[in-house]
Structure 1
Protein backbone atom coordinates (compact mmCIF):
# COMPACT_ATOMS: atom_id res chain seq x y z
CA UNK A 1 0.00 0.00 0.00
CA UNK A 2 1.35 3.45 -0.92
CA UNK A 3 1.92 6.03 1.77
CA UNK A 4 -0.90 8.21 0.38
CA UNK A 5 -3.25 5.21 0.49
CA UNK A 6 -2.42 4.48 4.15
CA UNK A 7 -2.89 8.18 4.95
CA UNK A 8 -6.33 8.15 3.30
CA UNK A 9 -7.35 5.01 5.21
CA UNK A 10 -6.10 6.47 8.49
CA UNK A 11 -7.91 9.77 7.82
CA UNK A 12 -11.18 8.01 6.97
CA UNK A 13 -10.91 5.78 10.06
CA UNK A 14 -10.15 8.79 12.23
CA UNK A 15 -13.07 10.78 10.84
CA UNK A 16 -15.55 7.90 11.17
CA UNK A 17 -14.44 7.11 14.73
CA UNK A 18 -14.66 10.79 15.70
CA UNK A 19 -18.07 11.15 14.06
CA UNK A 20 -19.38 8.14 15.98
CA UNK A 21 -18.06 9.62 19.23
CA UNK A 22 -19.52 13.08 18.52
CA UNK A 23 -22.87 11.91 17.17
CA UNK A 24 -23.39 9.33 19.88
CA UNK A 25 -22.59 11.79 22.64
CA UNK A 26 -25.07 14.35 21.26
CA UNK A 27 -27.79 11.75 20.74
CA UNK A 28 -27.24 10.35 24.22
CA UNK A 29 -27.29 13.67 26.04
CA UNK A 30 -30.32 14.93 24.10
CA UNK A 31 -32.27 11.72 23.49
CA UNK A 32 -31.25 8.88 25.77
CA UNK A 33 -31.28 10.76 29.07
CA UNK A 34 -34.83 11.99 28.56
CA UNK A 35 -36.10 8.88 26.75
CA UNK A 36 -37.89 7.62 29.84
CA UNK A 37 -39.27 10.93 31.11
CA UNK A 38 -42.84 9.84 30.35
CA UNK A 39 -42.53 6.70 32.47
CA UNK A 40 -44.48 7.04 35.73
CA UNK A 41 -41.71 5.76 38.05
CA UNK A 42 -38.45 7.69 38.44
CA UNK A 43 -36.41 4.51 38.92
CA UNK A 44 -37.59 3.32 35.49
CA UNK A 45 -36.50 6.62 33.92
CA UNK A 46 -33.00 6.02 35.21
CA UNK A 47 -33.04 2.32 34.29
CA UNK A 48 -34.04 3.01 30.68
CA UNK A 49 -31.27 5.58 30.18
CA UNK A 50 -28.70 3.43 31.97
CA UNK A 51 -29.58 0.44 29.81
CA UNK A 52 -29.32 2.47 26.59
CA UNK A 53 -25.96 3.98 27.57
CA UNK A 54 -24.71 0.54 28.58
CA UNK A 55 -25.54 -0.80 25.11
CA UNK A 56 -23.94 2.14 23.31
CA UNK A 57 -20.77 2.50 25.44
CA UNK A 58 -18.79 -0.32 23.74
CA UNK A 59 -19.53 1.17 20.31
CA UNK A 60 -18.63 4.67 21.51
CA UNK A 61 -15.31 3.42 22.89
CA UNK A 62 -14.66 1.55 19.66
CA UNK A 63 -15.06 4.86 17.81
CA UNK A 64 -12.78 6.64 20.26
CA UNK A 65 -10.18 3.85 19.95
CA UNK A 66 -10.31 4.05 16.15
CA UNK A 67 -9.82 7.82 16.31
CA UNK A 68 -6.85 7.47 18.68
CA UNK A 69 -5.06 4.72 16.73
CA UNK A 70 -5.59 6.37 13.36
CA UNK A 71 -4.65 9.76 14.87
CA UNK A 72 -1.32 8.29 15.96
CA UNK A 73 -0.80 6.98 12.42
CA UNK A 74 -1.60 10.41 10.97
CA UNK A 75 0.86 12.02 13.38
CA UNK A 76 3.54 9.52 12.37
CA UNK A 77 2.93 10.24 8.68
CA UNK A 78 3.07 14.00 9.36
CA UNK A 79 6.26 14.16 11.45
CA UNK A 80 8.25 16.00 8.75
CA UNK A 81 5.34 18.38 8.24
CA UNK A 82 5.27 19.08 12.00
CA UNK A 83 8.92 20.15 11.81
CA UNK A 84 8.68 22.14 8.56
CA UNK A 85 5.24 23.70 8.33
CA UNK A 86 4.51 26.56 10.73
CA UNK A 87 1.33 26.01 12.70
CA UNK A 88 1.07 22.29 11.96
CA UNK A 89 2.87 21.20 15.14
CA UNK A 90 0.84 23.54 17.32
CA UNK A 91 -2.43 22.35 15.79
CA UNK A 92 -1.35 18.71 16.22
CA UNK A 93 -0.55 19.35 19.89
CA UNK A 94 -3.85 21.17 20.46
CA UNK A 95 -5.70 18.27 18.82
CA UNK A 96 -3.91 15.75 21.05
CA UNK A 97 -4.79 17.73 24.20
CA UNK A 98 -8.41 18.02 23.06
CA UNK A 99 -8.54 14.28 22.41
CA UNK A 100 -7.14 13.41 25.86
CA UNK A 101 -9.54 15.82 27.59
CA UNK A 102 -12.44 14.42 25.57
CA UNK A 103 -11.57 10.84 26.47
CA UNK A 104 -11.25 11.72 30.17
CA UNK A 105 -14.56 13.60 30.10
CA UNK A 106 -16.30 10.71 28.33
CA UNK A 107 -15.00 8.28 30.97
CA UNK A 108 -16.11 10.63 33.76
CA UNK A 109 -19.60 10.96 32.23
CA UNK A 110 -19.85 7.16 32.17
CA UNK A 111 -18.77 7.02 35.81
CA UNK A 112 -21.41 9.62 36.75
CA UNK A 113 -24.07 7.55 34.99
CA UNK A 114 -23.01 4.43 36.91
CA UNK A 115 -23.15 6.34 40.22
CA UNK A 116 -26.65 7.63 39.40
CA UNK A 117 -27.87 4.12 38.63
CA UNK A 118 -26.23 2.73 41.78
CA UNK A 119 -27.71 5.40 44.07
CA UNK A 120 -31.15 5.10 42.47
CA UNK A 121 -31.21 1.30 42.78
CA UNK A 122 -30.15 1.47 46.41
CA UNK A 123 -32.87 4.02 47.19
CA UNK A 124 -35.44 1.87 45.39
CA UNK A 125 -34.41 -1.27 47.28
CA UNK A 126 -34.64 0.58 50.58
CA UNK A 127 -38.10 1.86 49.68
CA UNK A 128 -37.02 5.51 49.81
CA UNK A 129 -38.87 8.09 47.73
CA UNK A 130 -37.07 8.69 44.46
CA UNK A 131 -38.07 11.59 42.26
CA UNK A 132 -36.25 12.75 39.11
CA UNK A 133 -37.39 14.54 35.97
CA UNK A 134 -35.24 12.23 33.85
CA UNK A 135 -31.96 10.33 34.16
CA UNK A 136 -29.85 13.49 34.23
CA UNK A 137 -32.25 16.11 35.60
CA UNK A 138 -33.14 16.35 39.29
CA UNK A 139 -36.29 17.90 40.74
CA UNK A 140 -36.83 19.56 44.09
CA UNK A 141 -37.59 16.10 45.55
CA UNK A 142 -34.46 14.36 44.27
CA UNK A 143 -32.17 13.06 47.05
CA UNK A 144 -29.17 15.38 47.48
CA UNK A 145 -26.46 12.88 46.54
CA UNK A 146 -28.32 11.73 43.44
CA UNK A 147 -28.96 15.33 42.35
CA UNK A 148 -25.24 16.11 42.77
CA UNK A 149 -24.26 13.24 40.43
CA UNK A 150 -26.97 14.24 37.95
CA UNK A 151 -25.57 17.78 37.78
CA UNK A 152 -22.06 16.41 37.26
CA UNK A 153 -23.33 14.14 34.50
CA UNK A 154 -25.03 17.03 32.71
CA UNK A 155 -21.86 19.12 32.77
CA UNK A 156 -19.69 16.23 31.55
CA UNK A 157 -22.19 15.26 28.85
CA UNK A 158 -22.29 18.86 27.65
CA UNK A 159 -18.50 18.99 27.38
CA UNK A 160 -18.06 15.67 25.52
CA UNK A 161 -19.61 16.83 22.20
CA UNK A 162 -17.71 20.12 22.43
CA UNK A 163 -14.39 18.28 22.83
CA UNK A 164 -15.26 15.58 20.27
CA UNK A 165 -16.35 18.32 17.85
CA UNK A 166 -13.13 20.25 18.45
CA UNK A 167 -11.22 17.04 17.67
CA UNK A 168 -13.05 16.84 14.32
CA UNK A 169 -12.39 20.55 13.62
CA UNK A 170 -8.67 20.20 14.34
CA UNK A 171 -8.60 17.14 12.09
CA UNK A 172 -10.20 19.13 9.28
CA UNK A 173 -7.70 21.96 9.75
CA UNK A 174 -4.78 19.52 9.67
CA UNK A 175 -6.17 17.81 6.55
CA UNK A 176 -6.44 21.16 4.78
CA UNK A 177 -2.84 21.96 5.63
CA UNK A 178 -1.79 19.12 3.30
CA UNK A 179 -2.93 21.18 0.28
CA UNK A 180 0.08 22.43 -1.72
CA UNK A 181 -0.76 26.12 -1.20
CA UNK A 182 -1.17 25.65 2.57
CA UNK A 183 2.06 23.67 2.74
CA UNK A 184 3.99 26.35 0.84
CA UNK A 185 2.62 29.12 3.07
CA UNK A 186 3.44 27.20 6.25
CA UNK A 187 7.00 26.46 5.12
CA UNK A 188 7.53 30.10 4.07
CA UNK A 189 6.30 31.38 7.44
CA UNK A 190 8.66 28.95 9.19
CA UNK A 191 11.60 30.17 7.05
CA UNK A 192 10.74 33.86 7.58
CA UNK A 193 10.61 33.33 11.32
CA UNK A 194 14.23 32.13 11.39
Structure 2
Protein backbone atom coordinates (compact mmCIF):
# COMPACT_ATOMS: atom_id res chain seq x y z
CA UNK A 1 0.00 0.00 0.00
CA UNK A 2 1.35 3.40 -0.98
CA UNK A 3 1.57 6.05 1.70
CA UNK A 4 -0.49 9.08 0.58
CA UNK A 5 2.40 11.39 1.47
CA UNK A 6 4.58 9.54 -1.05
CA UNK A 7 1.95 10.05 -3.75
CA UNK A 8 1.64 13.75 -2.91
CA UNK A 9 5.41 14.32 -2.91
CA UNK A 10 5.73 12.41 -6.18
CA UNK A 11 2.93 14.28 -7.93
CA UNK A 12 3.56 17.81 -6.62
CA UNK A 13 7.32 17.51 -7.17
CA UNK A 14 6.83 16.25 -10.73
CA UNK A 15 4.23 18.94 -11.46
CA UNK A 16 6.61 21.69 -10.36
CA UNK A 17 9.58 20.18 -12.22
CA UNK A 18 7.56 19.85 -15.44
CA UNK A 19 5.64 23.11 -15.17
CA UNK A 20 8.55 25.26 -14.08
CA UNK A 21 10.90 24.12 -16.80
CA UNK A 22 8.18 24.41 -19.44
CA UNK A 23 7.28 27.90 -18.25
CA UNK A 24 10.89 29.03 -18.27
CA UNK A 25 11.41 27.61 -21.79
CA UNK A 26 8.25 29.25 -23.11
CA UNK A 27 8.36 32.53 -21.21
CA UNK A 28 11.57 33.38 -19.38
CA UNK A 29 14.08 32.64 -22.12
CA UNK A 30 12.01 34.48 -24.72
CA UNK A 31 11.13 37.36 -22.38
CA UNK A 32 14.84 38.02 -21.85
CA UNK A 33 14.86 39.37 -25.42
CA UNK A 34 12.52 42.18 -24.36
CA UNK A 35 15.24 44.08 -22.51
CA UNK A 36 16.65 47.30 -23.89
CA UNK A 37 20.19 45.92 -24.34
CA UNK A 38 21.61 42.56 -25.45
CA UNK A 39 23.85 42.44 -22.36
CA UNK A 40 20.78 42.81 -20.14
CA UNK A 41 19.10 39.91 -21.94
CA UNK A 42 21.69 37.46 -20.64
CA UNK A 43 21.59 38.93 -17.14
CA UNK A 44 17.79 38.67 -16.99
CA UNK A 45 17.76 35.05 -18.16
CA UNK A 46 20.53 34.16 -15.70
CA UNK A 47 18.71 35.84 -12.81
CA UNK A 48 15.48 34.02 -13.61
CA UNK A 49 17.11 30.62 -13.86
CA UNK A 50 19.16 31.25 -10.71
CA UNK A 51 15.93 32.00 -8.83
CA UNK A 52 14.24 28.90 -10.22
CA UNK A 53 17.11 26.51 -9.39
CA UNK A 54 16.45 26.06 -5.62
CA UNK A 55 12.73 25.60 -6.23
CA UNK A 56 13.47 23.10 -8.98
CA UNK A 57 15.92 21.24 -6.72
CA UNK A 58 13.26 21.01 -4.00
CA UNK A 59 10.67 19.83 -6.54
CA UNK A 60 13.01 17.15 -7.87
CA UNK A 61 13.88 16.07 -4.34
CA UNK A 62 10.20 15.79 -3.40
CA UNK A 63 9.50 13.83 -6.58
CA UNK A 64 12.36 11.40 -5.91
CA UNK A 65 11.39 10.86 -2.26
CA UNK A 66 7.80 10.26 -3.34
CA UNK A 67 8.91 7.93 -6.13
CA UNK A 68 10.95 5.80 -3.73
CA UNK A 69 8.00 5.70 -1.33
CA UNK A 70 5.64 4.64 -4.11
CA UNK A 71 8.03 1.96 -5.32
CA UNK A 72 8.39 0.59 -1.79
CA UNK A 73 4.63 0.64 -1.29
CA UNK A 74 4.06 -1.12 -4.60
CA UNK A 75 6.88 -3.65 -4.33
CA UNK A 76 4.55 -6.65 -4.29
CA UNK A 77 2.68 -5.33 -7.33
CA UNK A 78 5.97 -4.74 -9.14
CA UNK A 79 6.97 -8.34 -8.46
CA UNK A 80 3.62 -9.99 -9.08
CA UNK A 81 1.36 -7.96 -11.37
CA UNK A 82 2.01 -8.32 -15.09
CA UNK A 83 3.22 -5.10 -16.69
CA UNK A 84 3.98 -3.22 -13.48
CA UNK A 85 7.66 -4.20 -13.40
CA UNK A 86 8.13 -3.06 -16.99
CA UNK A 87 6.36 0.22 -16.24
CA UNK A 88 8.62 0.74 -13.20
CA UNK A 89 11.74 0.19 -15.32
CA UNK A 90 10.53 2.58 -18.05
CA UNK A 91 9.67 5.18 -15.42
CA UNK A 92 13.06 4.80 -13.73
CA UNK A 93 14.97 5.12 -17.01
CA UNK A 94 12.93 8.20 -17.97
CA UNK A 95 13.53 9.72 -14.53
CA UNK A 96 17.28 9.16 -14.83
CA UNK A 97 17.25 10.75 -18.30
CA UNK A 98 15.32 13.78 -16.98
CA UNK A 99 17.71 14.09 -14.04
CA UNK A 100 20.71 13.91 -16.35
CA UNK A 101 19.30 16.51 -18.72
CA UNK A 102 18.41 18.79 -15.81
CA UNK A 103 21.86 18.45 -14.23
CA UNK A 104 23.61 19.09 -17.54
CA UNK A 105 21.41 22.13 -18.18
CA UNK A 106 22.44 23.49 -14.79
CA UNK A 107 26.14 22.95 -15.60
CA UNK A 108 25.64 24.86 -18.86
CA UNK A 109 23.68 27.56 -17.05
CA UNK A 110 26.49 28.04 -14.55
CA UNK A 111 28.99 28.27 -17.43
CA UNK A 112 26.90 31.08 -18.92
CA UNK A 113 26.27 32.71 -15.55
CA UNK A 114 29.99 32.99 -14.72
CA UNK A 115 30.44 35.26 -17.76
CA UNK A 116 27.98 37.77 -16.30
CA UNK A 117 26.07 40.19 -18.51
CA UNK A 118 27.17 39.19 -21.99
CA UNK A 119 25.31 40.20 -25.15
CA UNK A 120 22.77 37.55 -26.23
CA UNK A 121 19.58 37.61 -28.24
CA UNK A 122 17.56 35.80 -25.57
CA UNK A 123 18.05 33.13 -22.90
CA UNK A 124 19.12 30.45 -25.36
CA UNK A 125 20.05 32.34 -28.52
CA UNK A 126 23.48 33.93 -28.89
CA UNK A 127 24.02 37.20 -30.74
CA UNK A 128 26.94 37.96 -33.04
CA UNK A 129 28.75 39.49 -30.04
CA UNK A 130 28.22 36.54 -27.67
CA UNK A 131 31.52 34.98 -26.50
CA UNK A 132 32.05 31.55 -28.13
CA UNK A 133 31.94 29.60 -24.84
CA UNK A 134 28.59 31.18 -23.94
CA UNK A 135 27.25 30.71 -27.48
CA UNK A 136 28.12 27.00 -27.37
CA UNK A 137 26.41 26.54 -24.01
CA UNK A 138 23.36 28.45 -25.25
CA UNK A 139 23.11 26.24 -28.32
CA UNK A 140 23.00 23.16 -26.12
CA UNK A 141 20.51 24.79 -23.75
CA UNK A 142 18.30 25.60 -26.71
CA UNK A 143 17.63 21.87 -27.12
CA UNK A 144 17.64 21.01 -23.42
CA UNK A 145 15.02 23.64 -22.61
CA UNK A 146 12.55 21.47 -24.55
CA UNK A 147 14.03 18.06 -23.73
CA UNK A 148 13.49 18.47 -19.99
CA UNK A 149 9.76 19.29 -20.20
CA UNK A 150 9.40 16.49 -22.78
CA UNK A 151 11.00 13.98 -20.42
CA UNK A 152 9.12 15.18 -17.35
CA UNK A 153 5.91 15.31 -19.40
CA UNK A 154 6.57 11.68 -20.34
CA UNK A 155 6.85 10.95 -16.61
CA UNK A 156 3.42 12.52 -16.10
CA UNK A 157 2.01 10.17 -18.76
CA UNK A 158 3.81 7.13 -17.33
CA UNK A 159 2.53 8.02 -13.87
CA UNK A 160 -1.03 8.19 -15.21
CA UNK A 161 -0.60 4.74 -16.75
CA UNK A 162 0.81 3.48 -13.45
CA UNK A 163 -2.26 4.86 -11.70
CA UNK A 164 -4.51 2.94 -14.09
CA UNK A 165 -2.58 -0.24 -13.26
CA UNK A 166 -3.66 0.20 -9.64
CA UNK A 167 -7.36 -0.07 -10.39
CA UNK A 168 -8.74 -3.21 -8.81
CA UNK A 169 -9.74 -4.68 -12.18
CA UNK A 170 -6.24 -4.10 -13.56
CA UNK A 171 -4.62 -5.59 -10.46
CA UNK A 172 -6.79 -8.71 -10.66
CA UNK A 173 -6.29 -9.07 -14.41
CA UNK A 174 -2.52 -8.56 -14.06
CA UNK A 175 -2.23 -11.11 -11.30
CA UNK A 176 -4.27 -13.69 -13.26
CA UNK A 177 -2.11 -13.16 -16.36
CA UNK A 178 1.04 -13.52 -14.28
CA UNK A 179 -0.19 -16.81 -12.78
CA UNK A 180 -1.61 -18.27 -15.99
CA UNK A 181 1.16 -17.01 -18.28
Aligning the two structures, in what range does the TM-score lie when normalised by the shorter sequence?
A: over 0.9
- Residue 132 of structure 1 corresponds to which residue in structure 2? 120
Match of 2:164 among 176, 180, 184: 176
User: In 1, are the aligned partners of 2:29 and 2:122 still within 8 Å (CA)?
Assistant: yes
Q: Which structure 2 residue ranges, 5 or more long, are not aligned? A: none
In the alignment, structure 1 residue 81 sits paired with structure 2 residue 77 = yes
User: In 2, are the aligned partners of 1:91 and 1:170 still within 8 Å (CA)?
Assistant: yes
Q: CA deviation at 1:191?
A: 2.1
User: In 1, are the aligned partners of 2:40 and 2:119 still within 8 Å (CA)?
Assistant: no
- Residue 67 of structure 1 corresponds to which residue in structure 2? 63
Q: CA deviation at 1:178?
A: 0.9
User: In 1, are the aligned partners of 2:41 and 2:119 still within 8 Å (CA)?
Assistant: no
Q: Which structure 1 residue ranges, 5 or more long, are not aligned? A: 125-129
- Residue 13 of structure 2 corresponds to which residue in structure 1? 17
User: In 2, are the aligned partners of 1:36 and 1:48 still within 8 Å (CA)?
Assistant: yes
SS of the residue aligned with 1:133?
Answer: strand
Match of 2:155 among 136, 161, 167: 167
In the alignment, structure 1 residue 158 sits paired with structure 2 residue 146 = yes
Q: CA deviation at 1:141?
A: 4.4
Kindly provide the CA deviation profile for residues 65-99 of structure 1, in whole angstroms up to 9, marking residues without a partner as x. 01100100100011110111111001011111111
In the alignment, structure 1 residue 148 sits paired with structure 2 residue 144 = no
User: In 1, are the aligned partners of 2:82 and 2:174 still within 8 Å (CA)?
Assistant: yes
Q: CA RMSD in A?
A: 1.6
Mean CA deviation greater in 29-38 or 82-91 = 29-38
CA distance, structure 1, for counterparts of residue 15 and residue 63 of structure 2: 9
CA distance, structure 2, for counterparts of residue 141 and residue 44 of structure 1: 13
Q: CA deviation at 1:139?
A: 3.4
Kindly provide the CA deviation profile for residues 106-165 of structure 1, in whole angstroms up to 9, marking residues without a partner as x. 11111111212223x3xx6xxxxx542112112344333322111111111111001111
User: In 2, are the aligned partners of 1:106 and 1:157 still within 8 Å (CA)?
Assistant: no
Task: Count the aligned residue pairs.
Answer: 181
SS of the residue aligned with 2:30?
Answer: coil
SS of the residue aligned with 1:36?
Answer: helix
In the alignment, structure 1 residue 189 sits paired with structure 2 residue 177 = yes
SS of the residue aligned with 2:121?
Answer: strand
CA distance, structure 1, for counterparts of residue 133 and residue 48 of structure 2: 23
